[in-house]
Chain A
Amino acid sequence: MNRLGELERAVMDVLWARNEPMTVREVGRELADRDLAHTTVMTVLDRLAKKKVVTRAREGRAWRYRPAASRESYVSELMFDALGQTGDRDAALAAFVQSMDGKGAEALRRALAEIEQPRN
Protein backbone atom coordinates (compact mmCIF):
# COMPACT_ATOMS: atom_id res chain seq x y z
CA MET A 1 0.00 0.00 0.00
CA ASN A 2 1.34 3.46 -0.78
CA ARG A 3 2.12 6.01 1.92
CA LEU A 4 -0.96 8.14 1.38
CA GLY A 5 -3.23 5.10 1.55
CA GLU A 6 -1.59 4.03 4.76
CA LEU A 7 -2.01 7.53 6.23
CA GLU A 8 -5.67 7.63 5.23
CA ARG A 9 -6.17 4.41 7.06
CA ALA A 10 -4.43 5.69 10.19
CA VAL A 11 -6.50 8.88 10.15
CA MET A 12 -9.73 6.91 9.76
CA ASP A 13 -8.72 4.70 12.67
CA VAL A 14 -8.29 7.81 14.81
CA LEU A 15 -11.66 9.22 13.78
CA TRP A 16 -13.42 5.91 14.37
CA ALA A 17 -11.76 5.48 17.77
CA ARG A 18 -12.70 8.95 19.03
CA ASN A 19 -16.26 8.87 17.75
CA GLU A 20 -16.64 12.66 17.75
CA PRO A 21 -15.92 15.38 15.21
CA MET A 22 -12.24 16.33 15.27
CA THR A 23 -10.19 19.19 13.88
CA VAL A 24 -7.06 18.73 11.80
CA ARG A 25 -4.95 19.73 14.80
CA GLU A 26 -6.62 17.16 17.06
CA VAL A 27 -6.11 14.38 14.50
CA GLY A 28 -2.46 15.40 14.13
CA ARG A 29 -2.01 15.28 17.92
CA GLU A 30 -3.37 11.71 18.01
CA LEU A 31 -0.81 10.75 15.40
CA ALA A 32 2.01 12.64 17.15
CA ASP A 33 4.39 9.67 17.01
CA ARG A 34 4.37 9.93 13.19
CA ASP A 35 5.49 13.56 13.37
CA LEU A 36 3.24 14.72 10.53
CA ALA A 37 3.11 18.24 9.20
CA HIS A 38 -0.20 20.06 9.75
CA THR A 39 -0.67 20.38 5.99
CA THR A 40 -0.14 16.64 5.50
CA VAL A 41 -2.97 15.81 7.89
CA MET A 42 -5.11 18.44 6.17
CA THR A 43 -4.39 16.90 2.74
CA VAL A 44 -5.28 13.43 3.96
CA LEU A 45 -8.56 14.60 5.51
CA ASP A 46 -9.33 16.50 2.33
CA ARG A 47 -8.81 13.38 0.25
CA LEU A 48 -11.03 11.38 2.59
CA ALA A 49 -13.75 14.03 2.31
CA LYS A 50 -13.52 13.85 -1.50
CA LYS A 51 -13.98 10.09 -1.29
CA LYS A 52 -17.06 10.77 0.83
CA VAL A 53 -15.88 8.61 3.71
CA VAL A 54 -15.66 11.56 6.10
CA THR A 55 -17.99 14.51 6.40
CA ARG A 56 -16.96 17.93 7.66
CA ALA A 57 -18.68 20.87 9.25
CA ARG A 58 -17.31 24.33 9.99
CA GLU A 59 -16.96 25.29 13.62
CA GLY A 60 -15.66 28.82 14.08
CA ARG A 61 -12.56 29.08 11.92
CA ALA A 62 -11.76 25.35 11.77
CA TRP A 63 -13.31 22.38 10.01
CA ARG A 64 -14.37 19.44 12.13
CA TYR A 65 -14.25 16.01 10.52
CA ARG A 66 -16.16 12.87 11.37
CA PRO A 67 -16.48 9.46 9.68
CA ALA A 68 -19.44 9.28 7.28
CA ALA A 69 -20.20 5.78 8.54
CA SER A 70 -18.85 3.23 10.96
CA ARG A 71 -16.16 0.72 10.06
CA GLU A 72 -18.73 -2.08 10.33
CA SER A 73 -21.06 -0.48 7.83
CA TYR A 74 -18.22 -0.12 5.31
CA VAL A 75 -17.36 -3.79 5.79
CA SER A 76 -21.04 -4.62 5.19
CA GLU A 77 -21.06 -2.49 2.06
CA LEU A 78 -18.05 -4.35 0.68
CA MET A 79 -19.61 -7.72 1.45
CA PHE A 80 -22.89 -6.60 -0.02
CA ASP A 81 -21.11 -5.78 -3.29
CA ALA A 82 -19.13 -9.00 -3.14
CA LEU A 83 -22.07 -11.32 -2.70
CA GLY A 84 -23.78 -9.80 -5.72
CA GLN A 85 -26.91 -8.71 -3.94
CA THR A 86 -27.14 -5.42 -5.73
CA GLY A 87 -28.63 -5.95 -9.16
CA ASP A 88 -26.52 -3.81 -11.47
CA ARG A 89 -23.19 -4.31 -9.80
CA ASP A 90 -22.42 -7.81 -10.95
CA ALA A 91 -20.08 -6.68 -13.67
CA ALA A 92 -17.89 -4.72 -11.28
CA LEU A 93 -16.67 -7.67 -9.23
CA ALA A 94 -16.38 -11.34 -9.99
CA ALA A 95 -17.36 -13.38 -6.95
CA PHE A 96 -16.06 -16.92 -6.62
CA VAL A 97 -19.57 -18.10 -5.82
CA GLN A 98 -22.65 -15.89 -6.09
CA SER A 99 -24.91 -15.89 -3.09
CA MET A 100 -27.80 -18.29 -3.46
CA ASP A 101 -31.10 -19.06 -1.84
CA GLY A 102 -31.64 -21.55 1.01
CA LYS A 103 -32.58 -24.38 -1.32
CA GLY A 104 -29.41 -24.02 -3.38
CA ALA A 105 -27.21 -23.94 -0.30
CA GLU A 106 -28.98 -27.03 1.01
CA ALA A 107 -28.21 -28.93 -2.21
CA LEU A 108 -24.54 -27.99 -1.86
CA ARG A 109 -24.46 -29.07 1.77
CA ARG A 110 -25.81 -32.47 0.78
CA ALA A 111 -23.24 -32.83 -1.99
CA LEU A 112 -20.44 -31.83 0.36
CA ALA A 113 -21.56 -34.39 2.97
CA GLU A 114 -21.63 -37.09 0.30
CA ILE A 115 -18.09 -36.39 -0.84
CA GLU A 116 -16.64 -36.16 2.64
CA GLN A 117 -18.29 -39.40 3.84
CA PRO A 118 -18.68 -41.67 0.85
CA ARG A 119 -21.26 -44.38 1.41
CA ASN A 120 -19.69 -47.79 1.01
Chain B
Amino acid sequence: MVSAALLTLVAVSCLIAMALLHRAKWPSRGPYTAVITWQALGLAWGVSTIGALLAFGLSSYRLGAAGGLMALATDLFSGELILAELSQGLEGVSHLVAVVLAIVLTLVLFSGLVSSFVQVVRVRRRHHDLLELVASDHPDVPGARVIEHPAAAAYCLPGVLRSQVVISAGALAVLDKRELAAVLAHEHAHLRQRHDLVLLPFSSLKRAFPKVRLVRTYYESVALLIEMCADDQARRTSSSRELAMALLRFGAAGPAPVPAGAMAAVQEAEPEVMRRVNRLLRPDDELPYHAGAVIMGASAFLLASVTCLWHIPI
Protein backbone atom coordinates (compact mmCIF):
# COMPACT_ATOMS: atom_id res chain seq x y z
CA MET B 1 0.00 0.00 0.00
CA VAL B 2 2.96 2.32 0.62
CA SER B 3 4.04 2.09 -3.01
CA ALA B 4 0.45 2.75 -4.14
CA ALA B 5 0.31 5.90 -2.03
CA LEU B 6 3.71 7.11 -3.22
CA LEU B 7 2.89 6.44 -6.88
CA THR B 8 -0.38 8.36 -6.48
CA LEU B 9 1.62 11.21 -5.00
CA VAL B 10 4.00 11.15 -7.98
CA ALA B 11 1.09 11.07 -10.46
CA VAL B 12 -0.56 14.07 -8.80
CA SER B 13 2.77 15.91 -8.63
CA CYS B 14 3.26 15.30 -12.34
CA LEU B 15 -0.12 16.91 -13.07
CA ILE B 16 0.78 19.91 -10.92
CA ALA B 17 4.20 20.16 -12.56
CA MET B 18 2.59 20.10 -16.03
CA ALA B 19 0.24 22.92 -15.04
CA LEU B 20 3.23 24.94 -13.78
CA LEU B 21 5.31 24.14 -16.86
CA HIS B 22 2.47 25.25 -19.10
CA ARG B 23 2.41 28.66 -17.42
CA ALA B 24 6.16 29.04 -16.92
CA LYS B 25 8.11 31.64 -18.87
CA TRP B 26 11.42 29.79 -19.14
CA PRO B 27 10.40 27.21 -21.80
CA SER B 28 10.65 29.76 -24.62
CA ARG B 29 14.24 30.43 -23.48
CA GLY B 30 15.17 26.77 -23.63
CA PRO B 31 12.68 24.97 -25.86
CA TYR B 32 14.71 21.78 -26.14
CA THR B 33 14.96 21.39 -22.37
CA ALA B 34 11.26 22.17 -22.05
CA VAL B 35 10.20 19.57 -24.64
CA ILE B 36 12.23 16.88 -22.86
CA THR B 37 10.69 17.93 -19.54
CA TRP B 38 7.21 17.62 -21.06
CA GLN B 39 8.02 14.12 -22.26
CA ALA B 40 9.46 13.06 -18.92
CA LEU B 41 6.42 14.41 -17.05
CA GLY B 42 3.96 12.80 -19.46
CA LEU B 43 5.70 9.44 -19.30
CA ALA B 44 6.08 9.59 -15.50
CA TRP B 45 2.39 10.49 -15.12
CA GLY B 46 1.25 7.53 -17.23
CA VAL B 47 3.59 4.99 -15.63
CA SER B 48 2.91 6.17 -12.06
CA THR B 49 -0.88 6.24 -12.54
CA ILE B 50 -0.90 2.72 -13.93
CA GLY B 51 1.54 1.67 -11.20
CA ALA B 52 -0.60 3.17 -8.44
CA LEU B 53 -3.69 1.32 -9.66
CA LEU B 54 -1.77 -1.96 -9.88
CA ALA B 55 -0.06 -1.54 -6.52
CA PHE B 56 -3.42 -0.90 -4.88
CA GLY B 57 -5.31 -3.59 -6.77
CA LEU B 58 -2.61 -6.21 -6.17
CA SER B 59 -1.81 -5.20 -2.60
CA SER B 60 -2.92 -8.62 -1.31
CA TYR B 61 0.21 -10.14 -2.89
CA ARG B 62 2.46 -7.74 -0.94
CA LEU B 63 4.84 -7.70 -3.90
CA GLY B 64 4.34 -4.15 -5.20
CA ALA B 65 3.18 -3.25 -8.71
CA ALA B 66 5.76 -5.11 -10.79
CA GLY B 67 5.95 -8.22 -8.62
CA GLY B 68 2.18 -8.26 -8.16
CA LEU B 69 1.67 -8.19 -11.90
CA MET B 70 3.85 -11.27 -12.32
CA ALA B 71 2.01 -13.07 -9.53
CA LEU B 72 -1.32 -12.09 -11.11
CA ALA B 73 -0.24 -13.56 -14.45
CA THR B 74 0.66 -16.88 -12.80
CA ASP B 75 -2.60 -16.95 -10.86
CA LEU B 76 -4.71 -16.19 -13.90
CA PHE B 77 -3.64 -19.51 -15.35
CA SER B 78 -4.90 -21.38 -12.32
CA GLY B 79 -8.10 -19.27 -12.32
CA GLU B 80 -8.27 -19.10 -8.52
CA LEU B 81 -7.64 -15.41 -8.17
CA ILE B 82 -10.97 -13.83 -9.00
CA LEU B 83 -13.00 -16.06 -6.68
CA ALA B 84 -10.51 -15.48 -3.87
CA GLU B 85 -10.66 -11.70 -4.33
CA LEU B 86 -14.45 -11.55 -4.54
CA SER B 87 -14.81 -13.49 -1.28
CA GLN B 88 -13.11 -10.56 0.46
CA GLY B 89 -16.19 -8.39 -0.08
CA LEU B 90 -15.99 -4.69 -0.86
CA GLU B 91 -12.23 -4.46 -0.53
CA GLY B 92 -11.73 -7.31 -2.97
CA VAL B 93 -14.07 -5.72 -5.49
CA SER B 94 -12.24 -2.39 -5.26
CA HIS B 95 -8.97 -4.24 -5.91
CA LEU B 96 -10.43 -5.86 -9.00
CA VAL B 97 -11.75 -2.52 -10.26
CA ALA B 98 -8.29 -0.94 -9.81
CA VAL B 99 -6.59 -3.72 -11.80
CA VAL B 100 -9.16 -3.50 -14.58
CA LEU B 101 -8.74 0.28 -14.70
CA ALA B 102 -4.96 -0.11 -14.94
CA ILE B 103 -5.31 -2.54 -17.84
CA VAL B 104 -7.84 -0.33 -19.63
CA LEU B 105 -5.65 2.76 -19.23
CA THR B 106 -2.65 0.87 -20.59
CA LEU B 107 -4.63 -0.35 -23.58
CA VAL B 108 -6.08 3.11 -24.30
CA LEU B 109 -2.66 4.79 -24.19
CA PHE B 110 -0.98 2.08 -26.21
CA SER B 111 -3.67 1.71 -28.87
CA GLY B 112 -3.86 5.51 -29.12
CA LEU B 113 -0.18 5.58 -29.95
CA VAL B 114 -0.44 2.78 -32.49
CA SER B 115 -3.54 4.12 -34.21
CA SER B 116 -2.08 7.64 -34.35
CA PHE B 117 1.00 6.26 -35.97
CA VAL B 118 -0.97 4.22 -38.51
CA GLN B 119 -3.18 7.18 -39.32
CA VAL B 120 -0.18 9.49 -39.73
CA VAL B 121 1.58 7.04 -42.03
CA ARG B 122 -1.56 6.69 -44.16
CA VAL B 123 -2.08 10.44 -44.50
CA ARG B 124 1.55 10.93 -45.39
CA ARG B 125 1.53 8.19 -48.03
CA ARG B 126 -1.53 9.67 -49.72
CA HIS B 127 -0.04 13.15 -49.47
CA HIS B 128 3.21 11.93 -50.99
CA ASP B 129 1.41 10.14 -53.85
CA LEU B 130 -0.47 13.31 -54.74
CA LEU B 131 2.66 15.47 -54.46
CA GLU B 132 4.42 13.28 -57.00
CA LEU B 133 1.61 13.90 -59.45
CA VAL B 134 1.01 17.64 -59.08
CA ALA B 135 4.05 19.29 -57.45
CA SER B 136 6.95 20.60 -59.49
CA ASP B 137 10.54 21.69 -58.96
CA HIS B 138 11.43 25.35 -58.92
CA PRO B 139 14.87 26.89 -59.55
CA ASP B 140 14.52 29.25 -56.55
CA VAL B 141 14.00 26.43 -54.09
CA PRO B 142 16.36 23.54 -54.78
CA GLY B 143 15.43 20.47 -52.79
CA ALA B 144 11.84 21.57 -52.23
CA ARG B 145 8.65 20.82 -54.15
CA VAL B 146 6.32 23.58 -55.24
CA ILE B 147 2.51 23.44 -55.39
CA GLU B 148 0.74 25.84 -57.70
CA HIS B 149 -1.69 27.44 -55.29
CA PRO B 150 -2.20 31.12 -54.41
CA ALA B 151 -2.47 30.60 -50.62
CA ALA B 152 0.76 30.78 -48.61
CA ALA B 153 1.90 27.46 -47.19
CA ALA B 154 5.22 25.86 -46.33
CA TYR B 155 5.55 22.55 -44.61
CA CYS B 156 7.52 19.39 -44.37
CA LEU B 157 6.39 15.88 -44.99
CA PRO B 158 8.46 13.64 -42.71
CA GLY B 159 9.35 10.11 -43.68
CA VAL B 160 12.24 7.73 -43.42
CA LEU B 161 13.18 7.65 -47.09
CA ARG B 162 10.87 10.14 -48.70
CA SER B 163 10.89 13.22 -46.51
CA GLN B 164 10.20 16.41 -48.38
CA VAL B 165 9.88 20.14 -47.92
CA VAL B 166 6.94 21.66 -49.80
CA ILE B 167 6.16 25.29 -50.49
CA SER B 168 3.25 26.87 -52.32
CA ALA B 169 3.46 29.37 -55.16
CA GLY B 170 1.58 31.80 -52.92
CA ALA B 171 4.36 31.58 -50.34
CA LEU B 172 7.05 32.14 -52.98
CA ALA B 173 5.19 35.29 -54.01
CA VAL B 174 5.18 36.92 -50.55
CA LEU B 175 8.73 36.04 -49.43
CA ASP B 176 12.00 37.54 -50.55
CA LYS B 177 14.99 35.32 -51.18
CA ARG B 178 16.52 35.48 -47.69
CA GLU B 179 13.19 35.01 -45.93
CA LEU B 180 12.62 31.99 -48.14
CA ALA B 181 15.98 30.58 -47.08
CA ALA B 182 14.99 31.04 -43.42
CA VAL B 183 11.70 29.19 -43.95
CA LEU B 184 13.45 26.31 -45.71
CA ALA B 185 16.06 26.09 -42.93
CA HIS B 186 13.21 25.90 -40.39
CA GLU B 187 11.49 23.08 -42.26
CA HIS B 188 14.71 21.16 -42.83
CA ALA B 189 15.37 21.36 -39.09
CA HIS B 190 12.01 19.64 -38.48
CA LEU B 191 12.96 16.84 -40.85
CA ARG B 192 16.53 16.46 -39.65
CA GLN B 193 15.62 16.22 -35.98
CA ARG B 194 12.43 14.19 -36.57
CA HIS B 195 10.27 16.61 -34.60
CA ASP B 196 7.21 14.71 -35.77
CA LEU B 197 8.24 11.72 -33.64
CA VAL B 198 8.71 13.99 -30.63
CA LEU B 199 5.18 15.30 -31.01
CA LEU B 200 3.60 11.92 -31.76
CA PRO B 201 2.94 10.81 -28.14
CA PHE B 202 1.16 14.07 -27.44
CA SER B 203 -0.96 13.96 -30.58
CA SER B 204 -1.89 10.36 -29.81
CA LEU B 205 -2.99 11.42 -26.32
CA LYS B 206 -5.11 14.06 -28.00
CA ARG B 207 -6.69 11.35 -30.13
CA ALA B 208 -7.24 9.07 -27.16
CA PHE B 209 -8.88 11.81 -25.08
CA PRO B 210 -10.49 14.17 -27.61
CA LYS B 211 -12.89 15.65 -25.06
CA VAL B 212 -10.27 16.58 -22.47
CA ARG B 213 -9.47 20.26 -22.88
CA LEU B 214 -6.26 20.01 -20.83
CA VAL B 215 -4.74 17.43 -23.18
CA ARG B 216 -5.34 19.71 -26.16
CA THR B 217 -3.88 22.71 -24.34
CA TYR B 218 -0.73 20.80 -23.42
CA TYR B 219 -0.43 19.38 -26.92
CA GLU B 220 -0.47 22.91 -28.32
CA SER B 221 2.08 23.98 -25.75
CA VAL B 222 4.49 21.26 -26.88
CA ALA B 223 3.78 21.92 -30.56
CA LEU B 224 4.68 25.59 -30.07
CA LEU B 225 7.91 24.65 -28.29
CA ILE B 226 8.86 22.37 -31.17
CA GLU B 227 8.32 25.23 -33.61
CA MET B 228 10.61 27.33 -31.43
CA CYS B 229 13.26 24.57 -31.59
CA ALA B 230 13.11 24.68 -35.39
CA ASP B 231 13.21 28.50 -35.30
CA ASP B 232 16.40 28.30 -33.23
CA GLN B 233 17.96 25.94 -35.76
CA ALA B 234 17.02 28.24 -38.64
CA ARG B 235 18.56 31.16 -36.75
CA ARG B 236 21.97 29.58 -37.07
CA THR B 237 22.06 30.25 -40.81
CA SER B 238 19.51 33.07 -41.22
CA SER B 239 18.93 36.21 -39.22
CA SER B 240 16.16 36.29 -36.61
CA ARG B 241 14.59 39.24 -38.34
CA GLU B 242 14.24 37.43 -41.67
CA LEU B 243 12.60 34.49 -39.99
CA ALA B 244 10.26 36.76 -38.03
CA MET B 245 9.33 38.64 -41.20
CA ALA B 246 8.62 35.36 -42.97
CA LEU B 247 6.34 34.30 -40.10
CA LEU B 248 4.45 37.57 -40.26
CA ARG B 249 4.12 37.52 -44.02
CA PHE B 250 2.71 34.01 -43.88
CA GLY B 251 0.16 34.93 -41.29
CA ALA B 252 -0.72 38.20 -42.94
CA ALA B 253 -1.03 36.61 -46.38
CA GLY B 254 -4.61 36.08 -45.40
CA PRO B 255 -6.45 33.47 -43.51
CA ALA B 256 -7.73 30.54 -45.44
CA PRO B 257 -11.50 30.78 -45.15
CA VAL B 258 -12.60 29.08 -41.97
CA PRO B 259 -16.22 27.98 -41.59
CA ALA B 260 -18.09 30.26 -39.19
CA GLY B 261 -18.72 27.47 -36.68
CA ALA B 262 -15.04 26.66 -36.32
CA MET B 263 -14.01 30.20 -35.46
CA ALA B 264 -15.38 30.19 -31.97
CA ALA B 265 -12.75 27.64 -31.00
CA VAL B 266 -9.92 30.12 -31.50
CA GLN B 267 -10.47 33.24 -29.46
CA GLU B 268 -6.98 34.10 -28.42
CA ALA B 269 -6.10 37.77 -28.22
CA GLU B 270 -2.62 36.99 -29.47
CA PRO B 271 -2.04 34.22 -31.99
CA GLU B 272 0.73 31.80 -31.11
CA VAL B 273 2.73 32.93 -34.10
CA MET B 274 3.13 36.32 -32.40
CA ARG B 275 4.89 34.63 -29.50
CA ARG B 276 7.39 33.17 -31.93
CA VAL B 277 7.80 36.53 -33.67
CA ASN B 278 8.31 38.43 -30.42
CA ARG B 279 10.80 35.84 -29.28
CA LEU B 280 12.80 36.26 -32.50
CA LEU B 281 12.73 40.06 -32.54
CA ARG B 282 13.30 40.59 -28.82
CA PRO B 283 15.21 37.54 -27.69
CA ASP B 284 15.52 36.84 -23.96
CA ASP B 285 18.72 35.40 -22.62
CA GLU B 286 19.07 31.73 -23.33
CA LEU B 287 18.38 29.41 -20.41
CA PRO B 288 21.67 29.18 -18.45
CA TYR B 289 23.53 25.93 -18.84
CA HIS B 290 23.34 24.97 -15.16
CA ALA B 291 19.58 25.63 -15.01
CA GLY B 292 19.09 23.33 -17.99
CA ALA B 293 21.26 20.69 -16.35
CA VAL B 294 19.24 20.88 -13.12
CA ILE B 295 15.95 20.51 -15.00
CA MET B 296 17.26 17.54 -17.00
CA GLY B 297 18.61 15.95 -13.84
CA ALA B 298 15.25 16.35 -12.12
CA SER B 299 13.49 14.73 -15.10
CA ALA B 300 15.86 11.76 -15.01
CA PHE B 301 15.45 11.47 -11.23
CA LEU B 302 11.64 11.51 -11.63
CA LEU B 303 11.68 8.64 -14.12
CA ALA B 304 14.15 6.66 -12.00
CA SER B 305 12.03 7.04 -8.86
CA VAL B 306 8.86 5.94 -10.66
CA THR B 307 10.69 2.82 -11.81
CA CYS B 308 11.87 2.16 -8.24
CA LEU B 309 8.39 2.67 -6.81
CA TRP B 310 7.04 0.04 -9.20
CA HIS B 311 9.37 -2.45 -7.55
CA ILE B 312 8.83 -1.60 -3.87
CA PRO B 313 7.26 -4.77 -2.45
CA ILE B 314 5.09 -3.08 0.18
Contacts and interface: CB of A to CB of B under 8 A. Distances in A.
B56 interface: no
A90 B120 CA distance: 9
A17 interface: no
A79 B151 contact: yes
A91 B200 contact: yes
B258 interface: yes
Contacts, number: 149
A92 B255 contact: no
A100 to B, nearest CB: 5
B305 interface: no
B5 interface: no
Nearest to B241: A115
B203 A90 contact: yes
Given A99-B256, A100-B255, A53 B153 contact: no
A90 B273 CA distance: 16
B207 interface: yes
A8 B131 CA distance: 12
A17 to B, nearest CB: 14
Interface residues of A, number: 41
Interface in B67-109: none
Interface in A72-100: 74-79, 81-83, 85, 88-100
Interface string B138-171: 0000000001110111111110000000101000
Contact of B186 (A1, A96, A101, A107): A96
Nearest to B150: A79
Nearest to B158: A94
B266 interface: yes
A97 B250 contact: yes
A34 interface: no
Contact of B190 (A77, A78, A94, A101): A94
Interface stretch (B10-18, B29-37, B122-130, B292-300): B122-130
Main secondary structure of the interface of A (DSSP, over half): helix
Contacts of A18: none
A92 B124 contact: yes
A12 interface: yes
A83 B130 contact: no
A50 B251 CA distance: 37
Nearest to B148: A75
A37 to B, nearest CB: 22
Nearest to A12: B133
A48 to B, nearest CB: 8
A75 B149 contact: yes
Contacts of B124: 92-93
A3 interface: no
Interface in A43-75: 51, 53, 71, 74-75
Contact of B271 (A5, A74, A104): A104
B225 interface: no
A99 B249 CA distance: 12
A105 B256 CA distance: 10
A112 interface: yes
B274 A111 contact: yes
B251 to A, nearest CB: 4
B199 interface: yes
A83 B254 contact: no
B9 interface: no
Which 6 interchain pairs have the tightest Cβ spacing? A108-B251, A104-B271, A91-B203, A92-B123, A96-B154, A97-B250
Given A71-B134, A75-B134, A94-B187, 17 more contacts: A78-B131, A79-B147, A82-B155, A90-B203, A91-B199, A93-B124, A94-B158, A94-B196, A95-B154, A96-B186, A97-B250, A101-B263, A102-B255, A104-B271, A105-B251, A111-B248, A115-B281
15 contacts: A51-B129, A53-B129, A53-B133, A74-B133, A75-B134, A75-B149, A78-B147, A78-B166, A88-B207, A89-B123, A97-B273, A99-B255, A101-B266, A104-B255, A109-B251
